[in-house]
Amino acid sequence: MSSSLVEEATRIALQFDYPAEQVQRGVAEYIRQSDEGLAKEGATLSQIPTFVTAVPNGTEKGLYLAVDLGGTNFRVCSVQLHGDTTFNLTQSKIMIPRELMASGTSKDLFLFLARQIEAFLRIHHNEHFEAHLRRKREDRGEEYLFDLGFTFSFPVRQDGINSGTLIRWTKGFNIPDAVGHDVCALLQSAIDDLDLPVRVAALVNDTVGTLMARSYTSPGETGTLLGAIFGTGTNGAYVEKLSNVSKLENMNDSHYDTSTGEMIINAEWGSFDNQLSVLPSTIYDIELDADSNNPGIQMFEKRVSGMFLGEILRRALLDLHTKLGLFKLSKTSKVSIPTDSLLYRQWGLDTSLLSQVEADTTKQFVDVKAALKDHLKVENPSDTECKAVKILVHAIGKRAARLSAVPLAAILIHTGKLDTDDVVDVGVDGSVVEFYPDFETHLRGALREVPQVGEAGDKKVRIGISKDGSGVGAALIALVASKDQTLVTPNSK
């Protein structure tokens, strides 16, 4: 088995190669799909106008609230902006009960979120909260004390800085009665039911927040061009010329400030090339998609993001296990894998397994063995088995990083930002880009293989981690919104 196991792992790994010419084809197709998305609704690449028309410069001041519904956790935070690129952030995080994610109603979910905001205010801003209650009792007429930025990391169709209807749920959420409704109004209604002194001032996508937070903390001559998330999911937002967003002409109900001539666009690039005209596909990608809860969509995300890399690996390992006895007791393997191992469970493997394996540089595969024990209950795997696992992990992770260069290169070319001598600033966030070994190295390797970027262009691109995009970024957008005269009061009652 030993040599054939490594040979088969190598053969599978070759299927994950993503060579330069495929990167270049991907970039050309991304530019085509992005132009289509700017021109009309319903394109594969949504290119959603965010109605945020200015990026910060680091001098902004004030106290703002932000909440983040991005996945399994709900975060509430308050952000004190000091006006000198620094800030203080206070936050709490709570896990969303599973029954509210899939079988509840939108009222149940949003009332739960409003209650977390109330608890946060009572704990961290009680003096403001008590004063509000006193004024309420004295019936002095109520003003909102806090402007809130609502980071909502699901596809929405925005028609203003603080209004947008839910297109569809992703990431395990499925509450049908919220689809097609204004999520800001749903949250405001729940907040009003609890008499909280909070106005939902801005609807924020986490990638836009990432861009804003980066622009506040790392201001430069030109501001930040792009915010990108490479974590559980993947997406990007970038600064576009208003004149290029031709579909705005058909959005009669929309309202926004035109003075800057720019608008941040939320690309929703997880759905890039859903039709698979240029994206690479292995049997494992195809099977993963078929067994997912949203077959046929988010095809780019399913090859790049942390939610899916573990499952791609699991399916490849299962293939080796079934065909060649990987982790099966035999003459050449000392391992007996238990029947309750996560190898046998869909979505059983976490991307942290890949990170741990990729980081191992020891000849004895110390970290690989520890990872296999922790994640798969595999005790004492042979060095050959460890080598086979490492080959597969490296191939899957490297492909994800190289694919991630496609939207970055496309946006750099489309916006013409590489044609000047300025540094092009890119803010990134997410566990994959932050913690996956050599992710940025492989991404930059692919960037340089795109002729319009090359070595010279790559040198101009500054990629920096943008922390707390969903907190600080959301607060900054609430600040922009509170100054914006086109703000509407979202209330569904």
Active-site residue numbers?
153, 168, 206
> How far apart are the C-alpha atoms of 292 and 151, rounded to whole Å?
25
Dihedrals phi, psi of 334, to nearest 5 degrees: -90, 5
Are 411 and 38 spatial neighbours (Cβ–Cβ below 8 Å)?
A: no
DSSP string, 363-415: TT-HHHHHHHHHHH---S--HHHHHHHHHHHHHHHHHHHHHHHHHHHHHHHHH
The secondary structure of residue 331, as a DSSP letter, is S
> How far apart are the C-alpha atoms of 175 and 186, rounded to whole Å?
13
> How far apart are the C-alpha atoms of 85 and 59, rounded to whole Å?
6
> How far apart are the C-alpha atoms of 297 and 309, rounded to whole Å?
16
> How far apart are the C-alpha atoms of 449 and 405, rounded to whole Å?
10
Q: Across the strands, what pairs with 66?
A: 77, 149
Say whether 91 sits in a helix, a strand or coil: strand
> How far apart are the C-alpha atoms of 394 and 356, rounded to whole Å?
11
- Residue from 486, 477, 465 nearest 152 by CA: 477
| Burial class of 485 by CB neighbour count within 10 A (0 to 12, 13 to 18, 19+) | exposed
> How far apart are the C-alpha atoms of 477 and 472, rounded to whole Å?
9
- Which residues are CB-contacts of 331 (< 8 A; sequence separation ≥ 6)? none
Beta strand residue intervals within 255-371, DSSP E: 262-266
- Which residues are CB-contacts of 240 (< 8 A; sequence separation ≥ 6)? 38, 262, 263, 264, 265, 415
E strand or H helix at 164: strand 163-166
